[in-house]
Amino acid sequence: MPEHVILFAGPMGAGKTTAIRTLSEIDVVSTEAANTDRLQADKDTTTVALDYGEIAVGLDDKIRLYGVPGQSRFDFMWTILQQRAMGLMLLIHADAPNPVVAVGDQLGAFLDLANRGGLVIGITRSELGPRDVVDRVRTVASALLPERSIPVFAVDARDYEQMRTMLMALISDVEERAEMMRASR
């Protein structure tokens, strides 16, 4: 039985920690890890937060939720997590300086996973940003991955029902993707 790992990615302030706290059935574990990405930060030990939560599936199975900072793509840890993951929950806050550029950066950082696994995009803090962010993100996402139809939601990361709906959309995309990968072999 493969592990059920979902990554929550997105820029700082996107709502990754909040989303995992909203969905997790255990107390979320937040740790700090050394950032060895010298290209992004010219410091030996920039500490970055990593969040971990879980959702039980059936009696003895679970979905593991990891919140990872997208800018640390060169760190071995994110590479390993990305290889283990079956789906990517990409969160972008509508009030980010440039949400459309952020989508491109994050998809670039997690392209392996985006190509292989499930992918959904959530626009958080949507009441705080321009109204057309969801449409602009949808346009750029389908330009970047033209062969995919990527669900883009406006979500409040603090809202259980909304996050749960987004998670279910991700899981059905994971299944659809796995089906397509099998068929193309």
Ligand X SMILES: Nc1nc2c(ncn2[C@@H]2O[C@H](COP(=O)(O)OP(=O)(O)O)[C@@H](O)[C@H]2O)c(=O)[nH]1
Give min distance, CB of 9 to Mg ion, in A: 11
Instruction: Return the residues of window 58-117 that contact ligand X according to CB under 6 A.
Output: none
Instruction: Report angle CA 65, 167, 96 to the nearest 5 degrees.
Output: 80
What is the three-class DSSP state of 112? Answer: helix
**7's torsion region: left (phi>0), alpha (psi -120 to 50) or beta?**
beta
Q: Which long-range contacts (CB under 8 A, 24 or more apart) does 72-79 make?
A: 72/35, 72/37, 72/40, 72/48, 73/37, 73/109, 73/110, 74/36, 74/37, 74/39, 74/40, 75/33, 75/35, 75/36, 75/37, 76/36, 77/33, 77/50
Cβ proximity to ligand X: between 17 and 72 the closer is: 17
Give min distance, CB of 90 to ligand X, in A: 11
Q: Which stretch binds ligand X (CB under 6 A): 6-14, 76-84, 132-140, 174-182?
A: 6-14
Instruction: Report angle CA 178, 86, 76 to the nearest 5 degrees.
Output: 135
- According to DSSP, residue 70 is labeled G
For ligand X, the binding residue among 4, 16, 73, 177 (CB under 6 A) is 16
Q: Is 18 in the site for ligand X (CB under 6 A)?
A: yes
Instruction: Return the residues of window 6-35 that contact Mg ion according to CB under 5 A.
Output: 17
Element (H, E) at 32: strand 29-35
Cβ proximity to ligand X: between 54 and 66 the closer is: 66
Give min distance, CB of 30 to ligand X, in A: 9
Q: Which stretch binds ligand X (CB under 6 A): 56-64, 76-84, 144-152, 156-164?
A: 156-164
Give min distance, CB of 5 to ligand X, in A: 18
Residue 40 CA to residue 44 CA, distance in Å, equals 11
Q: Is 157 in the site for ligand X (CB under 6 A)?
A: yes
Q: Which stretch binds ligand X (CB under 6 A): 25-33, 36-44, 77-85, 150-158?
A: 150-158
Q: Which of ligand X, Mg ion, none does residue 73 bind to, with CB < 5 to 8 Å depending on kind?
A: none
Sites of contact with ligand X (CB under 6 A): 10, 12-18, 124-125, 128, 156-158
